[in-house]
Amino acid sequence: MSSSSSTGTTRKPVYLAVYDTLADWETGHATAQLARAGHPVRTVGPTTEPVTSIGGLRVQPDLALADVRPSDAALLILPGADLWDAGDDLAPFARTARAFLDAGVPVAAICGATAGLAREGLLDDRDHTSAVSFYLAATGYGGGERYVEADAVTDGALVTAGPTEPVAFAREILRLLHVYDDEAVDAWYRLFHDSDAGAYAVLEKAGVL
């Protein structure tokens, strides 16, 4: 599939956080479609030293976290990682998420990254989801009443999802950034989540294929 939406279009970069043990299956749908639509994807590490994903992929970050500014980006994506539950190594990424949200720039967090945001207090007053409610409850956060049993949730500028929902996670991001209209996004989701061949006609009409 190719996307004519990306032709001649340059949009603000999307920052993809990368760190050791990152769950490399969780963000591929989102970043691939964003890149096709004209959003350059820039990887952001703790430093610019290489990191290794949980699947053994070695990633050389484009930027160090200290050099990231919300005004330069369209979105910050935080994938899950074992490190989110193994100490405070990734807490600076949650603090950066706060800076993005305070600046009105969207953040999308999936899997373990939702726990990082919970510890940072960013889910106390926003609807959200994750793997399961008791996973976030174990962080001691104050947002349990805002937990939603759904594949992915958008509240304002924040998207959250659990580890088994990379397609729904991407769907919410595509909607939030207005990459395609709602009909095309719904068709895209049906194609990649449900293998609905009938969605091809809608996507071709929208110029997504």
In whole angstroms, how far apart are CA 179 and each of 3, 17, 115, 148, 201?
Answer: 11, 20, 27, 25, 18
> Which position among 23, 78, 83, 111 bears the catalytic label?
111
The residue type at 182: D
Q: Which of 149, 189, 162 is nearest to 30 (CA)?
A: 189
Partners of 161 in beta bridges: 110, 152
In whole angstroms, how far apart are CA 43 and each of 60, 151, 186?
Answer: 8, 25, 27
Q: What is the dihedral of CA 85, 116, 73, 193, to 10 degrees?
A: 70
Is-catalytic flag, 111? yes
Residues with active-site annotation:
111
